[in-house]
Amino acid sequence: MLTTLYSFCSLSKCADGAIPYGGLVLGSDGNFHGTTTYGGTGIYGLCDKLRCGTLFRLTPGGSLTTLHSFCSSRYCSDGGAPYAAVIEASGGTFYGTTALGGAYGCGCGEIFSWSPSVAVAPTFTPPSLTWAKQAVGTTSNPKSIKIKNVNSGEATLDLNGMNVASPFAISKTTCEATLAAGKSCEVSITFAPSAPGTATGTFALTDNAPNSPQTLTLTGTGK
């Protein structure tokens, strides 16, 4: 008996992909992974009106997740029109090829990899915090740090700990245990000098990104 697990082009403008030439690969996570040659949400033009394809994951029960839409970058530097199947290496990283796109703008294709792991450390905005002339024995108004997970796809940033030392303190945070790709949260820090003069400290974030913990310099002047 045949069971249809998923029908492509079910979404407007085939945003979920179309024409899966490459077939499926069973991943170590128990799900199927594959590509579609057309469809997706990539907006840069080397392909026809059906756009330039997707990388997807399909559960055995038929639930489809689009992991990447090709031609999502200018000049299709992320590739376009993948015809072949992907292969999985250790650690859940998948590799494949595209027939079009590539970093040099010739439309000649590329080799790509995709991983659910965090590849890039989060960013801090601003890159440091400074308090000027805070009265000894008082606590400053809080200053905020925005922490952003700049990774893409499903690369979740796991926030394992935040640390500062006196005379600085964390007064509030909107950050939870995980931070989805492309999302931000904020940490508020106060300065309470116990003596006049300049004090320096460090905000440290421990996470699952490279070079953890990431740090930010804190400087305050007591008067």
DSSP string, 18-29: B--TT-EEE-TT
Q: Indicate the number of domains in the chain.
A: 2
- Sign of torsion, CA 81 85 88 92? positive
Q: Examine the fold and report which residue of 80, 114, 148 is the final residue of a domain before the chain moves on.
A: 114
Q: Span 68-95, mean pLDDT?
A: 85
* Same-domain pairing of 138 and 85: no
Would you say residue 6 lies in a domain?
A: no
Residue 178 lies in a domain: yes
Q: What is the CATH number of the domain that holds 203?
A: 2.60.40.10
pLDDT digits (tens, 9 = 90+) for 99-148: 988 766 567 889 988 877 777 899 999 999 999 999 999 999 999 999 99
Task: Kindly state whether residues 144 and 65 are assigned to the same domain.
Answer: no
pLDDT: is 50 or 22 the higher one? 22
Verify that 99 and 171 share a domain, yes or no. no
Domain residues for the domain of 198 are 123-222
**Structure tokens, 2:** 């045949």
For 197, the token pair is 């003069």
Tokens of 173: 């945070």
Residues 67, 71, 76, 82, Cα dihedral to 10° = 70
Q: Is the pLDDT of residue 44 over 80?
A: no
CA 24/CA 96 separation, integer angstroms: 12
